[in-house]
Chain A
Amino acid sequence: MNKMQYTEERAEDLLVLTVIDTRLEASNAQSLRELLIGRIEKGEQRIVLDLQNVVFMDSSALGSLIGAMKRLRPQGTLALAGATGPVLRLMNLTRMDKVFQFFPSRDAATAALEA
């Protein structure tokens, strides 16, 4: 299991996590899951996950996102920003727009959520 590389920023009550890895797959999905669940258990309820660097995502990583989503309270938010290409296609295929909020970019996400 690899450790997923990421950066962490805060914009008011939003926690912005930027994934540095270019691929989210079985090898680092567990690390992604632990990161998200760890932050949620610390009380974070509004999280933006910036996926602009990610060129590929598989079902394991999607499972991590769904797992994290299930931990959030009903009014909590897990927003996905900057998903493109295969990632966006996976999200569309699996209709994740019904589960997560999607934004074209990180700035769009923070602007929309802070408003």
Chain B
Amino acid sequence: MTGRVGRDSGFPAGAAMRAFGTPQGRRRASSATLLAAPAGGPGLRHIARAVNTRTTLTLMLAMFGAMLVGLLWSQAVPAYRAHVEASEQIVVDVVRNDLLVALLGLQVDRGRIAATGSGPWADGDSGEILDVPIRALERASGNLGELGHQDWRALANEIAGAADALRIGAEALSAAERSGYPRAIAAERAGVIDAIDRAEERLRDMRSILLSESNLADPDLVGLQLIGNSVLEANDAIQRNRALLLRLLDSGEPVRTKDLRAAEERTTAFRGSVDVLQGTINLFDGHAATEAAILFEFFQWTYAPAEARLLKSMATGTEVEASRRIWMDAVAEFDGLVDDLRRFVFERSQAHHARKESAALVRMDTKIALSAAVFALFSLSLLAIERLILRPIERITDRMHELVAGDLAPGPSERFTLADMRSMADALRVFRVDAVRRNRLTRERLSLHAKIADAHNELKADLRAAAKVQLAQMPEPGDVGAVRFSTYFAAANVLAGDTFDFLPLSGDRVGLFQIDVAGHGAAAGLVSVAAHIAARRALRKLGPGESLVRAVTALNANWSPDLTYFTMATIELDTQANRGRMVQAGHPHPVLLRGDGSISRLGGGGLPIGAVPDADFEEIDFPFGTGDRLLVFSDGIYESINAQGEIFTEERFIDLLAGNAHRSTENLIESIRTALETWCCTGSLSDDVSLVVAERT
């Protein structure tokens, strides 16, 4: 069975089976064999040996999974970064606001120091000198440092350094003022103002740096930055004029036109740029422009006229006090408006950054959720491929190899989810059942064959035993009384249909018969044995002078009609009388070779024994003296057929006898044998051949 499966499926079952040890080994060996069969070169086969469905799928899915992870990562990481940056921008915006506070404070304090030293403004503004900017810088440095980024930390340190320099300057100025030395005080004032100038310049740069770190492409932020810068410009102009004018007013020194012109130019310069500034801001942020307009309007229409009136009063020396009050009020209001605008800018940018952060957060959350979902789906697909395809295929493959290896035990019944896996498993079950049935049929057939072979051998043994019995019935050649018998016998089958016997009878008589049972084989052989016994008994009972015809007639009458008929020649040779007599029952005419060389056929024929129950027979009488030879034979001797299908023929046989009549009996028989063997070159006889030569000695 396995051999056949092997041949049909195109791979050598024997080799595959030898390789199958463990199930793993089996799987490996099988996939190698299955794939190697159609593969062309040894290289392909080598690769094929290592690759099966699982490794192929695992490789492909691993690559797909890696690409998927990469894709999702490339989506999620920028979203996360965007969110982190948006969060940082809120802090950076706070820092920028503090820097703006510090800058505005520095401008105010520079004017104050220029006007009064570390004392309060003459118009009542008090508090520690530089306290507001230093605290703002400290807040900015702290916030920026917390962001953790290296660039931010460097900036934070620089801001902290600026704060420290300002503090040292303020303390030195206080110490000088406490000492009361006017020159020392003047030197420290100049030093602090110088520090403030440096700090202001640097802090303006920092605001730009921080802005460039945030998204400059954002038009709202550009608008707010412009407002911040405008505020700084306006405040710078006003605070410088404030310091200058207060110093002039309070010093009591004569007013110089040059100083007044410087103050006027500063104000005029800013007024000139207001329209441009406002227009530009409006381009980016209409709402912020509206807010900024309040300050710009105030500067143009309230402060600038108030300052102009004061400058005029100072130049003319008239209504100086009234003008000073109006101007001081305008300055105070301006400070308030600057503070309002700064808050507005700060709140607006904070709101802006908060919106951006929130949007970034939503984007990040969406992408992370989407990535998780895609990955979960991918994992589910992996699980489904493993459970629904790979594992069933491996089970089915294992089962197939078990079948190929001849393991026909029913495996565990498994229900696969996919219909095609189910039908594969079902087909395999059918194969198994078929194989079991085929095995059973083969076993039964083999057992039947064995029984038939046994029976055949038994029959052959029986036939050989029967043949021995039959041969034992036939006498050895030799002398019986004065008659020498020579024989030639060749059976076509194990059992012969021909038989003969010769025996001494009472007196000087010798009995002889030859029988040829119709047909061949075992049936004819058994009938031949029975006929031999009947004929021998009849001859033995034959007394001297008793009718040979009567003996044969009785034999014929008693022959069972159920048995095959046979031909027989029954002969009595009387050596005293030198005569013989014969009853011929369908047997070929015997040949009498006389001592003088003459040759003659004997008898006129007769019915075979068993053909007709009431048959009549004839007895003939013939001379049989010394030197005479009687040849009795069955028709097989002249009916043998050669390779061309020709029959030897009776005529040829008689001619053969005539041609060799002069030879001794031994030589005569030898020439007959040679002639027959030459004729019948096939080596197998179609009929038994028997010849008995009785020679009177």
Where the two chains meet, the residues of A that have a C-beta atom closer than 8 Å to any C-beta of B are 25-26, 29, 56, 58-60, 62-63, 66, 70, 86, 89, 92-96, 98-99
Contact = CB atoms under 8 A, between A and B. Distances in A.
Interface stretch (B300-308, B332-340, B515-523, B675-683): B515-523
B607 A99 contact: yes
B650 A95 contact: no
B670 to A, nearest CB: 27
B647 interface: yes
B586 A94 contact: yes
A1 B127 CA distance: 144
Interface residues on B, range: 20 to 34
Contacts of A95: 586, 605-607
Residue among B606, B607, B686 having the largest count of chain A Cβ atoms under 10 Å: B607
Contacts of B564: 63
A63 B606 contact: no
B183 to A, nearest CB: 158
Interface of B: 516, 518-520, 561, 564-565, 567, 586-589, 605-608, 611-612, 615-616, 635, 639, 647, 649-650, 686-687
Contacts of B687: 26, 58
B589 A98 contact: no
Contacts of B587: 93
Task: Describe B's contact surface by its main secondary structure.
Answer: loop
Contact of A93 (B519, B605, B611, B616): B605
Nearest to B606: A95
A94 B611 contact: yes
Of B518, B561, B616, the most chain A CB neighbours within 10 A belong to: B518
B605 A94 contact: yes
A63 B649 CA distance: 21
Contacts of A26: 519-520, 686-687
19 contacts: A26-B520, A59-B516, A59-B518, A59-B635, A62-B518, A63-B518, A63-B519, A86-B647, A86-B649, A89-B650, A92-B605, A93-B586, A93-B589, A94-B608, A95-B605, A95-B606, A98-B607, A98-B616, A99-B611
A98 B607 CA distance: 8
Given A60-B519, A93-B586, A66 B611 contact: yes
Given A59-B518, A86-B647, A94-B605, A70 B615 contact: no
Nearest to A60: B519
A95 B687 CA distance: 22
Contacts of B611: 66, 94, 99
Contacts of A96: 607
Contacts of B586: 93-95
Nearest to B564: A63
Contacts of A56: 639, 647
A59 B605 CA distance: 14
A45 B649 CA distance: 35
Given A63-B565, A94-B586, A94-B611, A58 B605 contact: no
Contact of A66 (B565, B606, B649): B565
A60 B611 CA distance: 12
Contacts of B561: 70
A2 B412 CA distance: 57
Contacts of B516: 59
A94 B518 contact: no
A99 B649 CA distance: 25
A86 to B, nearest CB: 7
A86 B646 CA distance: 13
A56 B611 CA distance: 20
A4 to B, nearest CB: 16
A26 B650 CA distance: 19
Contacts of A94: 567, 586, 605-608, 611
A68 to B, nearest CB: 12
Contacts of B520: 26, 60
